Amino acid sequence: MFSLLCMLIVTTCLYFMTLQFFDRKSALIAALLFSCEGSVLFLGRLATYDAFCLCLLSLAIVFSLRASQAASAQSLLMVGLLLVLAVAAKYAGLLFVPTVLALLAWWSWKHKGLEEMFVRLGIALFSLMAAGFMAFLIMDKQVLTGLSFTTTNRVSFVQTGPIQVIQHIVMMEGIFFGLGFLGLLLCGRQRLPTGLLLFSSALLVPLFHAYKAAIQEGYFDLIELSYGYHTPLAIQIYQNLAASKQYELVARISIHNSYGSGYYWVWSKRASTSNSVENSV
């Protein structure tokens, strides 16, 4: 229910953003297409922090666009807080922080001029650094380890190359990228910078995954498996990993949540280490 509420807020923010960039008709079409997208429907039913992260990022963009046209820039102080909360909710949200700041800079320059653009961007950066510093003081320092394990150095059991990743993205989201590219060609010279920024931002995640697949030799350092959500699959993955002789089990953490009970199995590349618990399984 919470994820659904977050995605409804994201859709509302998308309508407002498109209304600012284009017109009401475009905003309605964008909101309709977005709400029918498979990944959006999936996230609305998924009990994770993905939808919450997208909600915070969307709100940050809305605050940025409103503040870039307002007489006062005080509301920009909220932007930094929202961005830090978005990254805290889902580390991958860090990928879109430059997009929010770029939209703020471009829209401020367009409506208030170059000098005001630097002022408003400076306020947003100050609020971002202040909120980030406060979060660093408050949060457990193991959050940096979590960032590495779940985002920057995250691994998957299924090793695929960049071509396969790109093919999967085209199959799942190709129609939306095609519509976006068509809109980019038809948006006109005046709206082209905004269209380029939005379309480039949409490519960030696919390019990131393709890049990580391209350097997969240095990518598969740690594997985290939930043993309990789908027991037969988890057993099969465990057996395949153990038989590969490339990984060793370094931890088995008991968990219990709304999905049920089970374990997190943490694997690392095989090395001469004394902390292996593989023989204890």
pLDDT tens column, 221-246: 444 454 455 666 667 777 777 777 77
End-to-end CA distance of the chain: 37
pLDDT computed for residue 261 by the predictor? 66
**Amino acid identity for residue 104 in this structure:** L
Residue 82: is its pLDDT beyond 80?
yes
Q: Is the pTM of this model over 0.75?
A: no
39, 173 Cβ separation under 8 angstroms:
yes
Distances in Å between the alpha carbon of 265 and those of 78, 97, 155, 234, 269? 39, 32, 13, 9, 13
Maximal C-alpha separation, the chain: 67
pLDDT in tens, 91-147: 788 889 999 999 999 989 988 888 889 999 999 999 999 998 888 888 766 666 655
CA distance 240 to 244: 6
